[in-house]
Structure formats: structure tokens, C-alpha cells
Structure 1
Amino acid sequence: MEMQQNHRIRRQLRETNAFSGTSLFFGVLSSVVCSAIIPALGAGRIATVLGAALGPLLVAMFTTRGPGLIRTVGIASVTAIAFVISLGGFTLPEAIAGDGSLTSDRAGTFVYTKRGPAPTPAQAAQATRTAPVPEPSEPPSSPSSSPEPSGPSQAGAEIELPDQRECPEIPVGDVKVCKQIGVGNAGTKTVEIATGEMSGAHADDFVITQRCDGTLKPGTGCSVRVEFRPSASGLREASLILYVQPGNVTREITVTGNAIALDGTE
């Protein structure tokens, strides 16, 4: 009796079409497609797992037939088989390569598979080397000493710009645009630039007409434009201040211009 019942159950499962080649093929295909599309759209692992299981479930519901519990078992079986194949098809090559997800910029489609870079022999030797002891003749650096206004020590803030900009010689009362002041990010990190105001004894003779404010990625730049509007003759001089983050870096550019006296002016 028990053998007859088992034979009847196997026959009913075959009749559901759950284990046919067509049903399994489309079930696995739908699971793989969902596993590739969902993480590529930026969804997390939970959404990817749900999509990888929901795809073959929907396919199995359309490709299987028959009533009752036997069809339900067939649908569950197709879904489980397709999901396991999809899971292994993504996780195994990711674990072997160690480069993270095959479909998105994260550490694995289903599980964390990204390995850290192996240290080079030079790095390994450096890690085991003890720190050098400072010579007694070298005085310790004072914690209150102020940092240099620029350079790689300022949290990657390496800003390229001229120290001085000379404006064209013009008569008193005239207006002339000075050569632009280029500001470039020569470092490896993104920085924030803010243009301050002109300062100095002749600050009113120089007007900022274009500012350099905002974010500068590595290798990019912007420019500051200044107009020379002398109110008196002679050499006029002011300072332009730029503020850089990170590092609280302050850069100063000296702007000069010579004004020619006209009749009746000094």
C-alpha cells in the first residue's frame, strides 16, 4: 500500500510539470535576471534575495498545473532549486575573484565576498619595523606651532595658485580687468574652496567680479577675477584671501597695480 501511495505521489508531481526542463529553465533564468537587475538598481541584499526567490515563484505558478497540495509542493521545489542555482552562480565566482558583487559596486551580491588587498612585501616589512627613535639633538616639535598654509600635510589639501597677481597699469579713475587667478586642486582629495574679501590699505581699489566657491575634485580648478579701479596714483596693493577645507588652510594672494596720475588728480 505504501509503495502504491509513493508511486501515485511521484506520478502526480510529474503531471504538475514542475520538474520539466522548461519550468526549471525559466525558473532559473528569472532568478538570475532578478539577481542581476535589482542590485544594479542600487537595492540592498534583502531586496536582491527576495527578487531572486520571487522570480522563479511567479514562473512556477504559470508553468505548473494541477490542483491541491501536490502543485504547491512542485511550485516550492522549482523556486528552491532555481534560487539555489542563482545563489551559487553569483556567490561562488565572487568569492573566488574576491572583487565584490558581479553586478553592482558593493561587496557581494548576496553575501559579503570582497577581500582586502594583500600587503606587498615592502608593506609587510614596514609593518614589522619599529618606529625610529628621534635623535636627542632634535628638539620636539611644539604642539602650539601653527601649520603651514598649504601642502600635503593639510589632509590632502594641495592647492595650486599664484602668490601674486599684477594688474595692468591704468589711469586713475579707469577700470581694468586683471588677469584671472587660477585655483587648482593638485591633491588626491576633494576640497572646499571659499573666496574671502579683499583686504589691505588699498582694498577698495580692487573689486572681485568672479569668485571661486564650492567643491573642487582632484585635477579640477576654478578662477577668481578682480577689477583694478584705482582711486589714487602710484602703486596700489591689496590681498585676496582663499579658505580651503579640510585642514583650515588659508591662502593669500597679493594683488598689485600701478595707477597713472591724470591732470588734476594725485
Structure 2
Amino acid sequence: MSSKILEGKTALVTGASRGLGRAIAERLGGDGALVAVHYGKNREAADTVVGQIKAAGGDAFAVQAEIGSVKSIEDLFATLDKELTTRTGAAHLDILVNNAGIAPNIPMEQTDEDTFDRLFDVNVKGVFFVTKHAIGRLRDGGRIINISSGLSRAVGGMDIPAYSATKGAVDVLTRQWAVAYGGRGITVNALAPGAIDTDMNAGWLRDNAESEAMIKSVQALKRIGKAEDIGDAVAFLAGPDSRWVTGQYIEASGGWLI
């Protein structure tokens, strides 16, 4: 079998200009998909990801939206339709990865209303309305992969309940959509990373010996995860070998709290 298992497929990865999203976009591009690299504010970072995908022999383009805004999501899909039609002749998607999210590392006592609302706008409303707009464009046999979190299953010393609740909502949507669109052969799964060394986690994890030791102490594989670990797991769920896997919460955490 060719290594380009996603050749001829199109993918939209939200929050793809850095961190997990970048690793996911680059892996899908490497597997042959035409990748729409979504970004919120940093066009330069998104263009860098597009350039990396093209330099590796793939194809990609950047699209912008504020994921917490329904109007901005509508504009994203108008742009996406034009770009896909220009490149492929039709505004069809095969893979949607709902990765964009925010994760302020604050306990309930420090969570104000604006922060709470922003969390749910981006992490839940954004996932809902991106998927709502994508589903009519998604071809039968397509893939939806929602990035969840190990925190929707277990706390393990992490006191960020509002963020954890948003990922619990994503898990529920995953199961609902798996049933709703299974008749079209569309699989819908939630992939839950554990502690991953990304910019989002830099404040509490990177170069923090105490946090690193705490994570390793409750983890089977005894190392901090890399963004590429998640990109590889998404590649499985996006590819043909995952055709009989749907409605699942799949943890990619190195065996956290098992």
C-alpha cells in the first residue's frame, strides 16, 4: 500500500498554526491529504505550517476564523468552499479535526464569568458550529476527530474544572454525532491527549521539574508526550484502518492514571 494513504482526501484542522494542531496538520499532509490549516490570529505561523507541508511534498492552504464566533465560522466555510473548489473542483471535505481550544490553567476560585464564557465559546460552541457547517460538506465515509482531554475522565491533581467540563461536553457531542451520522459511514471519535509538551502547556509543564515528576509518577510510559504522538494517533483515526471505530473516547496519554 502507498504511504500516501490519504491521497485524494481533504482535511480541515482547526487550531493548526501551532502545538497539537500543527503536528496533526503536518502528519495528515504527509499522508497525502490536502489540508486546510486553520488559524485564529497568527497568519505567519499558519503560513509556516503550510510551507512545511508543501516542503515535505504535500499540499495545504491557510484559513482564518475566530472559533468562538458563529459569524466568523460561517466566513471560514465560505473561504474554504472557494479554496477547495479551486483546488479540487468541489467543496467537499473528508476529514474534520476539531482541535482549536483554550486552556487557562486556573482553579474554580479564580475563574470569572468572562473566562468561563470564553472557554465554552471556543471549546464547545466552536466545535458544535464548525461541525454543523462541515457535516453537509463531509463526504460519506468521512472522519470527524474531536480533540478531548484526559481531564474529562480523571482529575489527577489538575484543578481546572471549567476547562475539564468543556471537554466532557465534547465527549458527549462525539457520541451523539457518531449515532447521527453513522448511517453515512462517517466515524466520529474523541481523542484525549494527556500532558503534552506544547506552548499551551509551557507555563506549568515545560522546564518545570516538579510538574514533570508529578506527571511521570502517575503515567505508565514515564515520559512527557510530544505533539507528534497526537498527530500519529489522529492519523490512525483519519485513515481507512479506523473504519470500524466510532463513538469512542480514545486516550493518548502514555497510560495516565490507569
TM tier, shorter chain?
under 0.3
> Is the strand fraction higher in 1 or 2?
1
TM-score, with normalisation over the residues of structure 1?
0.19
User: Larger C-alpha radius of gyration, 1 or 2?
Assistant: 1
TM-score, with normalisation over the residues of structure 2?
0.19
Higher relative contact order (CA 8 A, sep 6+): 2
